[in-house]
Structure 1
Amino acid sequence: MELKDLTPAPGSRKNRKRVGRGNGSGYGKTSGRGMNGAKSRAGKQKRAGFEGGQTPLYMRLPKLPGFRNINHVEYLPVNVSRLEEKFEAGETVDKAALKAKGIIKHETDLVKVLGDGDITKALTVKVDKVSASAAQKIEAAGGKVE
């Protein structure tokens, strides 16, 4: 077998449809577009999502779901059980320490310590917010919340 003997697989290549080249071609006169109507005219195609004049789905649905409070503040939750496993006794828990341990991604994020789990180590916690149950557990373990 040589390079000159290579041919594409049968049926893999089709000839281009040459419209408007006379009635003998099978695509003369109306060029395969039929008789009248918008689809037969140049440049007149329906837009995406057109439903025949009915109000389209994207206009029937509400623009935004629910109510968006512009004053809402998002805190990253960190449970006391996570502090128990990542920190040693006597350490200070602040944003820099949380980032260094891989608990949060950015030091600019707001952090709230929650009371899920147990804590036995005395830690000093300096974050944006601490829940009442978390503060109670930290202080019961001998730590303090600042």
Structure 2
Amino acid sequence: MRINDAVPKKGSRSRRRRVGRGIAAGQGASCGFGMRGQKSRSGRSTRPGFEGGQMPLYRRVPKLKHFTVINPKHYTTINVCKLASLPADTDVTLTTLMDVGIVTANDGPLKILGEGDLNVPLKIKAAAFTAGARQKIEAAGGSCEVTEA
């Protein structure tokens, strides 16, 4: 048995309410909506979430602080000081760093951060660079290439 099989027995449904057909019908004149006002008019009274002109909850909530990002970007991050142990003119990617053992886990695309010093020219291919990291790599004679994340 499914939920769509649970229907009333034939002939057991009550007839629909006929409103506005005189006082004897039980729902004459105002049809059970009271005398006057927004909720007595024809059609839908107000849309869902309407708060009488006040800024509704669904519009004011995202303006508040400390809401989490829905789809955050996760990067495998590494500082430039960790790259100083590599030989000069090495092609640096996430796979080469994992092979060498500098990075142990793949947590997403590679991002280079700028903490520490670098004095070895390297050819680095990563998804993102901080401004400080890019400056230190290029000052050491290396190159920064942004790849697709």
TM-score by length of 2: 0.49
Q: Quote the RMSD (CA, aligned, Å).
A: 1.6
> Is residue 2:82 matched to residue 1:82?
yes
Identity of aligned residues (%): 38
Contact 2:78 2:112 (8 Å CA) reproduced: yes
Local SS of the residue matching 1:70: coil
Q: Which residue of 2 aligns with 1:103?
A: 102
Alpha-carbon distance in structure 2 between the residues aligned to 1:130 and 1:105: 20
Aligned length: 80
> Is residue 2:136 matched to residue 1:112?
no
Q: Deviations along 1:113-145, whole A, 9 cap, x unmatched?
A: 011111111000001111111111111111000
The Cα of 1:104 is off from its aligned counterpart by 2.5
**Aligned structure 1 segments of 4 or more residues deviating by more than 4 angstroms:** none
Alpha-carbon distance in structure 2 between the residues aligned to 1:95 and 1:106: 10
Q: How does 1:5-44 map to 2 (within 5 A)?
A: none
The Cα of 1:75 is off from its aligned counterpart by 1.4
> Is residue 2:141 matched to residue 1:138?
no
Q: Which residue of 1 aligns with 2:7?
A: none
TM-score by length of 1: 0.50
Contact 2:75 2:107 (8 Å CA) reproduced: no
Q: Which residue of 2 aligns with 1:127?
A: 126
- Which ranges in structure 1 are unaligned for 5 or more consecutive residues? 1-65
- Which ranges in structure 2 are unaligned for 5 or more consecutive residues? 1-65
Structure-2 change in CA distance of 1:97 and 1:69 (3 Å):
same
The Cα of 1:69 is off from its aligned counterpart by 1.7
